[in-house]
Every structure is written in structure tokens, then in C-alpha cells.
Amino acid sequence: MKGLILAGGLGKRLRPLTFTGPKQTLPIANKPVIHSCIEDLTNAGIKDIGIIVGYTPERINAIKECVGDGSLWNAKITYIEQDSPRGLAHAVYTAEDFLGDDDFVVYLGDNMIMGGVKKFVEDFKNSGDHAKLLLSEVDAPSRYGVVTLDDYGNVVEIEEKPEFPKSNLAIAGIYFFRPDIIKFAKSVKPGKHGELQLTDAIKKMVESNRYRVTASIIDGWWDDLGRVEDVLRANYMVLSNMRESEIEGTLEENVSLIGFIKINKGSIIRKDTVIKGPVVIGKNCGIGPNSYIGPYTSIGDNTTIVGGEVESSIITGDTTIKLDGKIVESLIGKNSTIVQSNKLPKGYRLVVGENSYLSL
């Protein structure tokens, strides 16, 4: 089987962070989301992977710089440019030459699931299914592609972001296909917002009554990272699975470490600082003195934090924070500076784009 990662979306709901780069490069526990997608596919034995990229040189180059040629995972990466955001069906048939006659997995590049896809890949290989979808029970199904199943796990109805959903089973951004899907993807008409929907292609396959389309419901957590709260929740879930500490940095006097914590090489935790895990701190960071880093926080490389408190947040890296207040549930882009101009007895909740300067 081949893998096809879709990484061409504009990420409008994550602006301003995505004005300067694709959301697939956002770090979850200091690892770019797209790296997790590639690891998942290679762990399932899929080493030939195409990545749909677009639509500007800046976004294309950002993905290429983040991923490289695939040698990090012993995989072969092929980049496929999509000329404009025309929808998932268009992305799939844009990859027709790469896919050839092979079966393949479509993996949305902003998705993460607990436990990975290996089991589902093997199930699909050994089945007579023409398509298989992964589903998750959600509280707000109208935000997703929604599926109705019969008692045998066959898909009987599928609809994209319905106003009145007939079930709470949402497509979890991962699909398994035989080559037959290509002709259906080419046949769909523009749907909502003028996009060619992959759900419409699958619906045509189901309605033809000649193809077997099934689904499996994911037992654990799944996240599609469409909004800031989704990104923070994914970071929370990944860090929740930490089961050991790894301290490669330097600890000064009176530093207190509680729980599972990873501190990478070159980082210094300065005196009278408290870190309560789970926490991941990247390379060449300076934390403290007199700082508190609370649970479910990821701090990227080359970050300086002096004083103050940070908790349940993602700091993507190359950032300076100097304040006495508390930052909570925040997503802070690269090359940002946050300093305090007056003391306020409250926390700050921030969504900060790259190359920003804040005075609080």
C-alpha cells in the first residue's frame, strides 16, 4: 500500500498562526503534526508516501523543509503540488500518477489518533472492502463528514457537515481505498464552498451498490487540530501518555522537578524554578530563575522564560517571555517576544502568530 498525506489546507481557523506557515508543521509535544502522520504510516509498513502540498512557494517549502526526503523514517517521500484549495476529492485525483494501481491510505495531515493505523491497515488488506473509513463519536457532528452504518459496519449514508446529522459518527480524517475511488473523485461536482468533497465521491460509490464501503469506530482519542482548542487538547493527550523522565539539560540549585519531564540538551533550568510535568522542553532553552512551568506544557527550542508561570500551553520556539503573570491555555508562534509593562493579577490567554511582539 501507499500513503497519501494531505497537507495543502490553509488552516483559516488557526490564524494568525497559519498566515506564515501550514498547520501541519505545528508542534504537538515538540513534534510537528505531519511527523506523527508519517511515523504512523511507516509503523504500519507503508514506506512509499505522497504528500499533497500547496498553494504558494512559502507553504510548499515549509512542508519540504519540515519533512525532507523521508530518510528520517526510512521512507520515500513524493511531493505532489495542488494548484488551489479545491477540496479533498481534487487532492486525491491530483495524486493519480503517484498512486497508480496501488491500494492506499489517505491521511489528513492535521490528524492524530491514539494507537495509530497499523491494525486497520492489516484489516483492510485482508478484506474485500473497496473503501474503509475510520470514525469517531463526537459531540458536534455537524462540523464533520457524518456516516450512518448498518448493523454489519457497512456505510449506508454519508454527508459532509450536515445541518441535521443523522448520527454522531464523524470521519476521523483517515481513509483506506482501492484504486476505484479515483474515478468517483473525478466525477463529483463542487459542493459547499465550491470544493470537490471526498465524502461526495464515497457517497457515489455507496449508492452504486457495486462496491463495499465499511467503517471502523476508533476506541481512543482522535483530534483534527482545526482550532486552537483542538491543538491544545492534542498536546494534552500526547503529554498524558508520558511515562518516564529524560533530563539531558542542566539544573541549577533549588530546582524542583515533579512528575514526568523531558529536558533536551543545551537547556538550562535556573535556580528557584519549579517544573510540574508532564512537560517537554526543547534544546537550548533557558527557564528561570523563579519560574513555574505547569502540566501539559510544550516549550520549543531556543526559548527563554524569565519569571512568571506557564501552564497548559504550547510555545513553538525561538521565543522570549519575561513577565510576573501567568500564561494559560495559550498557543504562541515562533520568534515571539512577550514582556510585561505593568503587573496585572490575572492570567493571560493568548493566540500569538509568528514574528510577534507583545507588551502586557
As a whole number of angstroms, the distance between CA 254 and CA 267 comes to 16
Locate 177 and state its grid cell: 481505498
Check residue 12 and give its pLDDT: 56
Average pLDDT over the chain, rounded to whole? 89
State which fold the 245-359 domain adopts.
Answer: UDP N-Acetylglucosamine Acyltransferase; domain 1 (2.160.10)
Q: Half-sphere exposure (CA, 13 Å, Cβ side) for 333?
A: 20
Check residue 59 and give its pLDDT: 82
- 235-283, pLDDT tens digit by residue? 999 999 999 999 999 999 999 999 999 999 999 999 999 999 999 999 9
- 42-83, pLDDT tens digit by residue? 999 999 999 999 877 888 888 999 999 999 999 999 999 988
Check residue 15 and give its pLDDT: 57
Beta bridge partners of 326: 309, 347
Residues 6 or more apart in contact with residue 309 via CB below 8 angstroms:
291, 292, 293, 294, 325, 326, 327
First to last CA, the chain: 52
176, 129 contact by CB (below 8 A): yes
When pLDDT is cut at 50, 70 and 90, the band that residue 351 belongs to is low
Residues 6 or more apart in contact with residue 237 via CB below 8 angstroms:
112, 114, 221, 223
State yes or no: pLDDT of 20 exceeds 60.
no
Edge-first strand order for the sheet with 261-263 is 246-247, 261-263, 279-281, 297-299, 314-315, 331-332, 351-352
- What pTM, to 2 d.p., does this model score? 0.88
Residue spans per domain, the chain: 2-239, 245-359
More confident residue, 19 or 322: 322
Q: Which of 34-38, 109-113, 355-359 has the highest mean pLDDT?
A: 34-38
What's the mean pLDDT in 99-122? 92
Check residue 263 and give its pLDDT: 97
As a whole number of angstroms, the distance between CA 30 and CA 250 comes to 19
Name the residue with cell 513577565.
323
- 331-347, pLDDT tens digit by residue? 888 888 888 766 555 66
When pLDDT is cut at 50, 70 and 90, the band that residue 214 belongs to is very high
CATH class (in words) of the domain with range 2-239: alpha beta
- 115-138, pLDDT tens digit by residue? 889 999 999 999 999 999 999 988
More confident residue, 198 or 22: 198
When pLDDT is cut at 50, 70 and 90, the band that residue 298 belongs to is very high
As a whole number of angstroms, the distance between CA 357 and CA 155 comes to 50
Check residue 41 and give its pLDDT: 97
CA distances 47 to 39, 41, 148, 200, Å, are 10, 7, 32, 29
- 142-190, pLDDT tens digit by residue? 888 899 999 888 999 998 888 898 999 999 989 999 999 999 999 999 8
